[in-house]
Amino acid sequence: MSATGARGSILVVGGGISGITAAVEASEAGADVVLVEKLPFLGGRVARLNQYFPKLCPPTCGLEINLRTLRTSPRIRCLTLSEVERITGEPGGYTATVRRDPRFVTERCTACGACVEVCPVERPDAFNLGMGTTRAVYLPFEMATPMRYAIDADACRGDECGACVAACPYGAIDLATEPETIEVEVDAVVWATGWDPPDAARFEGLGFGQYPDVVTNVMLERLAAPGGPTGGRILRPSTGEEVRSVAFVQCAGSRDENYLSYCSGVCCMASLKQARYVREQVPDADITVYYIDIRSPGRLEDFYAAAQADDKLSLIKGKVANVVGGADGLEIEVEDTASAQLVRRSFDMVVLATGMVPVGVGGAELDSGPQQDAYGFLRPRDRSGMLTAGCAKRPADVATCVRDATAAVGRALEFCGEGSRG
Amino acid sequence: MDNRAAVYLCRGCDIGAALDVDALRDLVTGDLGVETCRDHECLCSDGGRELLRKDVQEGVDTLIVGACSSRLMTDAFTFDGVHTERVNLREGVVWSHEPNDEDTQMLAADYLRMGVARASKVEAPEPFQEKVDPTVLVVGGGVGGMSAALTAARAGRRVVLVEKQPRLGGWMARFARQIPREEPYRVPKASDIDARIAEVRAEKRIAVHTSCTIEKISGQPGQFDVSLRGSGGSLQLRVGAIVQATGWEPYDATRLDTLGYGGSPDVITNVEMEEMIAACRIRRPSDGSRPRRIAFVQCAGSRDPDHLPYCSGVCCNVTVKQALVAREFDPELDVYVLYKDMRTPGQHEAFYRHAQEDGRIFFTKADVTGVDTSGPTPVVQARNSLLGETIALEADLVVLATGMVPHAADGEAIRRYQDAKAVIAKGEAGAQLEAAKTTEAELRHLEGAGILHLDYRQGPDLPTLRYDFPDSHFICFPYETRRTGIYAAGGVRAPLDSDLATEDGAGAALKAIQAVELATQGRAVHPRWGDMSYPSFFLQRCTQCKRCTEECPFGALNEDEKGTPQLNAARCRRCGICMGACPERIISFKDYSVDIVSSMIKSVDIPDEFEEKPRLLGLLCENDAYPALDTAGLKRIRHSAFMRFIPVRCLGSVNVVWIADALARGFDGVLLVGCKSGDDYQCHFIRGSELMETRSQNIRDKLKQLALEDERVRLEQLSINEFERLPEIVDEFAAQIQEIGLNPFKGF
């Protein structure tokens, strides 16, 4: 029980920026927290961003503060590689069943890396969206929390190999770990399951999956990140050469009744930010952003104004219809709205500004879960103990997610301790 | 060192293989005078921790652990009531330096000396605890404030809700329709404001004071003394935390004369349009006739450097709503919307699409150049539209979509204004008077602008940043203001719609609850969550120079009449900037002080000049630069073994005496690594690295006076992810110092 009498416990589903914020804010307000994350590390999508707009600061800076609390708070229990299977009960008394998949690396791991040297299996690097590989035993990324290795069950050869088991000086590898089921009793639940990028190969005509130099915005974040597959250098995937010209295709599969009919709200700012990454590395690069509307709300407008002042950056209103590989790199075909002309131009690299697909409640069985709209976003029912936050609720930028997560915890307190006693 | 301390050396993770651990143990038990020194193959293993646990049981109260970085394995080495001092031998020494090398060994030895020196000086902080009142004061009774009040009340807190108008509801109470929040997100919905007001009125934990303003607030989180002025006179009360939800004002349309406002009564604002919709009667103000054609001019005074440079984010949705409602009222009506970009993010895209599907609402991108009001009907003039390069669109009614201006008061500016007025009143002559007159003239608009009336040395309201929004970390920590326990929410914090303002209020309520909770425990709030240390002042030696009270970014310090600092511990964020500022060095924390860091600096073994081994001191921000250094170690990136690093709470907490001590002691150079300053600052204490820039310039000037090269002190800004750059900086600095030569004061 906390000093002022707040108590109770909250289950936070999802360990991205919204979930981390909810967990930290709740614990600092006196509640106990169980944080469930399906991946082996915390940080979710933001951990894979190079920088935030508009300050161009690294996400790990703010995460460091939150994760320090998360690592040391006695009030937070963190379950990675875990997913909620079922929740029963009502506000003030939920029972959640959580399945925890094996990491095969125990808490004895010191992150020394001896295992990696002997592991014979390469796997696509999931953290870097398949660009590059890791061994089957891997550290998710250089600032991972928890700072422990994990083994990819699908890639690992298991007992028939066992090289890492022998190499680990600390006996931290246990290939026989079984999945386990954990039950937790909580007063309220915050769904902060976030988003996935859509499968860009579905977007007809845009060439993703067909031409290696057509990349998505989430891939470009990794290409620009110091810990990414190219050490932070933005290079053409096909040749490994510096990019001289880049086209950003806004609303790739968004605001489009065939794919995602909503607007994800952040892709304009993400592209303007990524244009800055390119500009910093290649001062005279030719950059064009093709857009329907540039959406830079609030003071983000300043960032857009700065982009407009860049004379080697063109902003053209028009939706890109086609991307075709040619001798000169990639040719894009676009109807310039202002001139009503069909325009063709060639670029070294095309970045698809793809949107956000909400993860929702996953496969969890719920007695009375949040409402899910036609797009898959979750909205809490009135005065329910199942709250929703961040991109699970609506497409949003980091600041909105943080505010939303804090608000969800504020509402959850109604069912915790004093609030619930009326 | 007293014999209740013990040193533990881990041999794991290459430490044993790269260092002569036996020699280190001899150093500890010999020169360093710590009787107990144990080593283990893996200190964080069960067996290793057992060693520590046993010693703790037998009375050891200080554990000096030479193993990995303090950022890792925290639980493994934490015992109740025991101080643990971590010495980073892994990332900081063996993973970033040549193994089995003389210089690497010397580095490890120095880090142990520094760890023992620190451990011998730190004391366990005791929390600053006083009786607190958990009541939450909410200033502003619009949707944001009402949401904050309801959230706090439902979480079990008593709430005092103050609204200056005679009724609750704010702007929303004047509007009849809202932007849809539920599927199918297409149709404007009826306002639910009356239901919300009823909920607030029905909540027994909320005391509502309408027609009421704040007269004065003094104190600190947990103990704010508030004086209210209402129709019935003055009321005194005590609260624990404050939510400022004072909302917004529409941008002053009279400044938009080029858009015809004031030129014709038929040019109105979107707020005036809301009022017509609420009255269910859209008419031309000039003659009361029914308009046949309405033109909406988006971004009227917004996204415009001459007016509001920012975008208010809601006006596009508001126009879609007004257009749909106007069409609903009149099926024969034509609507034109002239926009720069339509901004209807998220699910609101369906709302916009609904309006686009209406055959008589026409949207076009256009650069509106003016509205001509010389004729009987206003004419909107625009360029580059889908209707043509230059158009003149006659409309019976022109609606200017004006933006939102925060209803905030910049406390720091008000303070400057008050100071200037005081100087003028005193009647002193000369340059000071002239400067005061200029300031007074510039800031005269702030007369009567106060909202919270805080009795704070640094001004009576929240300080604001860009465009007068009172926040400090609007990406990662959007609720953080620079006044602890006071949180802004709703339109005052950022331009937003009623749905987002409702969320915002709920979040700010949580922050207020949290501030009270932590004040009760005597612990710090963000970013040093849970820290129990706080600064103490040895006031006998205070010279009233006021640097601490001026430089505190959080307004934690007040002054008495003589200018002596008065701490409000619950307002303090424990950054130590006051400690760095104090020329008399009278400010210290129990576990962080000028003396503690000086002792660490002085504990380093300085080889004499003939050995030609320079020694460099690195003072780096513990939140960003230090983790970057750890990551460099994890990646096995090497850097010069001549560097000795000490993490600091904030670069702003660096007292220049440390640099003087280091140079006097024989260090050859000092590297300061902090966060980015400027408009896009990354410092979690807002001004720390900026203050260090000023101080280090003074230091460089002093070095010149002493005939020392000013390059010996170097200031760098680094982000946490620049783990490859930091080792490069260290190596460059080491090379530069070797070029300059060793410190001539070495050995004196």
Q: What is the pLDDT along chain A (422 residues), one digit of tens a residue?
A: 344 444 799 999 999 999 999 999 999 999 999 999 999 999 999 999 999 999 999 999 999 999 999 999 999 999 999 999 999 999 999 999 999 999 999 999 999 999 999 999 999 999 999 999 999 999 999 999 999 999 999 999 999 999 999 999 999 999 999 999 999 999 999 999 999 999 999 999 999 999 999 999 999 999 999 999 999 999 999 999 999 999 999 999 999 999 999 999 999 999 999 999 999 999 999 999 999 999 999 999 999 999 999 999 999 999 999 999 988 899 999 998 888 889 999 999 999 999 999 999 999 999 889 999 999 999 999 889 999 999 999 999 999 999 999 999 999 999 997 555 44
pLDDT at B388: 80
- The predicted model scores a pTM of 0.97
Do the chains contact at A411 and B386, CB–CB below 8 Å?
no
Task: Inform me whether the C-beta atom of residue B68 falls under 8 Å from chain A C-beta atoms.
Answer: yes
Do the chains contact at B154 and A294, CB–CB below 8 Å?
no
Same structural domain for residues A375 and A387?
A: yes
pLDDT at A419: 54
Q: How far is CA B688 from CA A23, A265, B328, B586, in A?
A: 28, 33, 56, 19
Same structural domain for residues A266 and A365?
A: no
Please write the tens of the pLDDT for every residue from B613-630: 999 999 999 999 999 999
Do the chains contact at A298 and B494, CB–CB below 8 Å?
yes
Domain that holds residue A128: 114-167
Residue B475: how many other CB atoms lie within 10 Å: 20
Contact B270, B302 (CB under 8 A): no
For the domain bounded by B252-403, which CATH number is listed? 3.50.50.60
Do the chains contact at B350 and A261, CB–CB below 8 Å?
yes
pLDDT at A328: 80
Q: What angle do CA B209, B213, B215 make, to 5 degrees?
A: 125
Residue tagged 């809601």 (tokens) = B314
pLDDT at B747: 66
Same structural domain for residues A221 and A292?
A: yes
Mean pLDDT of B178-183: 94
pLDDT band at B697 (very low <50, low <70, confident <90, very high): confident
CATH number, residue A388: 3.50.50.60
Rounded Cα distance between B702 and B709, Å, is: 10
ipTM of the complex as predicted:
0.96
Token code pair at residue B693: 């820039």
Nearest to B524 by CA among B467, B485, B579, B481: B485
Contact A151, A105 (CB under 8 A): yes
Task: Inform me whether the C-beta atom of residue B348 falls under 8 Å from chain A C-beta atoms.
Answer: yes
Nearest to B400 by CA among B274, B300, B484: B300
Task: Inform me whether the C-beta atom of residue B151 falls under 8 Å from chain A C-beta atoms.
Answer: yes
Rounded Cα distance between B541 and B564, Å, is: 10
Q: Select the residue from A409, A415, A418 to test the B interface by mutation, using most B Cβ atoms within 10 A.
A: A409
Burial of residue B178, with CB atoms counted within 10 A of its CB: 0-12 exposed, 13-18 middle, 19 or more buried: buried
Q: Which residues of B354-391 are buried (b: 16+ CB within 10 A; e: fewer)?
A: bbeeeeebbbbbbebeebbbeeebbbbbbeebeeeeeb
pLDDT band at B428 (very low <50, low <70, confident <90, very high): confident
Helices (H), A73-134: 114-118
Rounded Cα distance between A399 and A390, Å, is: 9
Mean pLDDT of B239-258: 97
What is the amino acid identity at position A317? K
H helix or E strand, kind and range, residue B408: none
Residue in chain A lying closest to B512 (CA): A29
Residue tagged 């980073």 (tokens) = B88
Rounded Cα distance between A173 and A267, Å, is: 41
The pairing of beta strand B223-230 with beta strand B213-220: antiparallel
Mean pLDDT of B487-511: 97
| CA-based nearest distance B248→chain A, Å | 14
Put simply, the chain B residues between 409 and 468 with a CB less than 8 A from any chain A CB are: 466-467
Residue B544: how many other CB atoms lie within 10 Å: 13
Residue B115: how many other CB atoms lie within 10 Å: 23
Q: Select the residue from A2, A262, A379, A401 to test the B interface by mutation, using most B Cβ atoms within 10 A.
A: A262
Residue B98: how many other CB atoms lie within 10 Å: 12
Which of A108, A298, A375 minimises the CB distance to B313? Answer: A298
Number of domains observed in the structure of chain A: 3
pLDDT band at B2 (very low <50, low <70, confident <90, very high): low
Q: Which residues of B130-148 are buried (b: 16+ CB within 10 A; e: fewer)?
A: eebbbbbbbbbbbbbbbbb
Q: Select the residue from B146, B303, B342, B529 to test the A interface by mutation, using most A Cβ atoms within 10 A.
A: B529
Same structural domain for residues A189 and A85?
A: yes
Same structural domain for residues A118 and A85?
A: no
Contact B468, B246 (CB under 8 A): no
Contacts of B540 (CB under 8 A, 6+ apart): none
Neighboring chain A residues of B72 at a CB cutoff of 8 Å? 111, 147
Mean pLDDT of B278-301: 97
Contact B453, B217 (CB under 8 A): yes
Which of A5, A25, A297 minimises the CB distance to B343? Answer: A297
H helix or E strand, kind and range, residue B441: helix B431-442
Do the chains contact at A410 and B520, CB–CB below 8 Å?
no
Which of A61, A170, A413 minimises the CB distance to B155? Answer: A413
Bridge partner list, A84: A98
Token code pair at residue B37: 């020194």
- The answer, yes or no, to whether residue B116 has pLDDT greater than 60, is yes
Which of A64, A295, A399 minimises the CB distance to B623? Answer: A64
- Last residue in a domain, options A352, A367, A398: A352
- The answer, yes or no, to whether residue B182 has pLDDT greater than 50, is yes
Helix, strand or coil, per DSSP, at residue A344:
strand
Same structural domain for residues A79 and A192?
A: yes
Residue B285's φ and ψ, nearest 5 degrees, are -60, -25
| CA-based nearest distance B79→chain A, Å | 13
pLDDT band at B712 (very low <50, low <70, confident <90, very high): very high
Which of A111, A297, A409 minimises the CB distance to B634? Answer: A111
Burial of residue B415, with CB atoms counted within 10 A of its CB: 0-12 exposed, 13-18 middle, 19 or more buried: buried
Pairwise pLDDT comparison (A340 vs B148), residue with the higher score: B148
Task: Inform me whether the C-beta atom of residue A142 falls under 8 Å from chain B C-beta atoms.
Answer: yes
Contacts of B388 (CB under 8 A, 6+ apart): none
Measured in whole angstroms, the distance separating CA B679 from the mean position of its chain's CA atoms is: 12
CATH value of B136-247+450-521 in 1.10.3470.10, 3.40.50.2300, 3.50.50.60, 3.30.470.20: 3.50.50.60
H helix or E strand, kind and range, residue B500: helix B498-521
Same structural domain for residues A43 and A149?
A: no
Which of A394, A405, A413 minimises the CB distance to B347? Answer: A394
Task: Inform me whether the C-beta atom of residue B86 falls under 8 Å from chain A C-beta atoms.
Answer: no
Same structural domain for residues A279 and A297?
A: yes
pLDDT band at B671 (very low <50, low <70, confident <90, very high): very high
Contacts of A147 (CB under 8 A, 6+ apart): A111, A139, B72
Nearest to B349 by CA among A377, A391, A257: A257
Helix, strand or coil, per DSSP, at residue B50:
helix
pLDDT at B573: 97
Nearest to B255 by CA among B209, B291, B304, B222: B304
Token code pair at residue B127: 């929390």
Measured in whole angstroms, the distance separating CA B380 from the mean position of its chain's CA atoms is: 43
pLDDT at A418: 57
Helix A17-28 × helix A59-72 angle, to 10°: 40
| CA-based nearest distance B404→chain A, Å | 10
Contact B571, B558 (CB under 8 A): no
Provide the edge-to-edge strand list for the sheet that holds B616-621: B643-648, B616-621, B669-674, B713-717
Q: Which residues of B559-589 are buried (b: 16+ CB within 10 A; e: fewer)?
A: beeeebbebbbbbbbbbbbbbbbbeebbbbb
pLDDT at B3: 64
Same structural domain for residues A253 and A342?
A: yes
User: Considering the domain B592-748, what is its CATH architecture?
Assistant: 3-Layer(aba) Sandwich (3.40)
- Last residue in a domain, options A292, A326, A352: A352
Handedness of CA B42, B46, B49, B55 (dihedral sign): negative
Do the chains contact at B341 and A295, CB–CB below 8 Å?
yes
Whether A399 is in a domain gets the answer yes
Which of A57, A66, A407 minimises the CB distance to B506? Answer: A407
Token code pair at residue B263: 């030129």
- The answer, yes or no, to whether residue B225 has pLDDT greater than 90, is yes
Tell me, which fold does domain B536-586 have in CATH? Alpha-Beta Plaits (3.30.70)
Same structural domain for residues A368 and A344?
A: no
For the domain bounded by B1-122, which CATH number is listed? 3.40.50
Measured in whole angstroms, the distance separating CA A401 from the mean position of its chain's CA atoms is: 12
Residue in chain A lying closest to B468 (CA): A299
Measured in whole angstroms, the distance separating CA B55 from the mean position of its chain's CA atoms is: 42
Put simply, the chain A residues between 278 and 317 with a CB less than 8 A from any chain B CB are: 293-302, 305, 317
pLDDT band at B231 (very low <50, low <70, confident <90, very high): confident
Put simply, the chain A residues between 322 and 351 with a CB less than 8 A from any chain B CB are: 337-338
Token code pair at residue A119: 């592991």
DSSP code for B589 = B
- The answer, yes or no, to whether residue B429 has pLDDT greater than 80, is no
Nearest to B34 by CA among B11, B67, B63, B2: B2
Please write the tens of the pLDDT for every residue from B18-62: 999 999 999 999 999 999 999 999 999 999 999 999 999 999 999
Listed by start position, the domains of chain B span 1-122, 136-247+450-521, 252-403, 411-446, 536-586, 592-748
Helices (H), B619-740: 625-634, 656-665, 688-705, 725-740
Same structural domain for residues A252 and A327?
A: yes
Which of B134, B349, B516 minimises the CB distance to A261? Answer: B349
Helix, strand or coil, per DSSP, at residue B137:
strand
Rounded Cα distance between B168 and B245, Å, is: 12
Topology alike, domains B252-403 and B536-586? no
Q: What angle do CA A23, A29, A32 make, to 5 degrees?
A: 55
Do the chains contact at B513 and A264, CB–CB below 8 Å?
no
Residue B667's φ and ψ, nearest 5 degrees, are -60, 145
Mean pLDDT of B657-682: 94
Residue B405's φ and ψ, nearest 5 degrees, are -110, 130
Q: Which residues of A191-220 are buried (b: 16+ CB within 10 A; e: fewer)?
A: bbbbbebbebeebeebbbeebebbbbbbbb
Same structural domain for residues A416 and A345?
A: no
Rounded Cα distance between B225 and A243, Å, is: 61
pLDDT at B276: 97
Measured in whole angstroms, the distance separating CA B190 from the mean position of its chain's CA atoms is: 37
Mean pLDDT of B209-213: 97
Rounded Cα distance between B233 and A102, Å, is: 66
Contact A47, A100 (CB under 8 A): no
Do the chains contact at A61 and B313, CB–CB below 8 Å?
no
Do the chains contact at A295 and B132, CB–CB below 8 Å?
no
Token code pair at residue B261: 């406002």
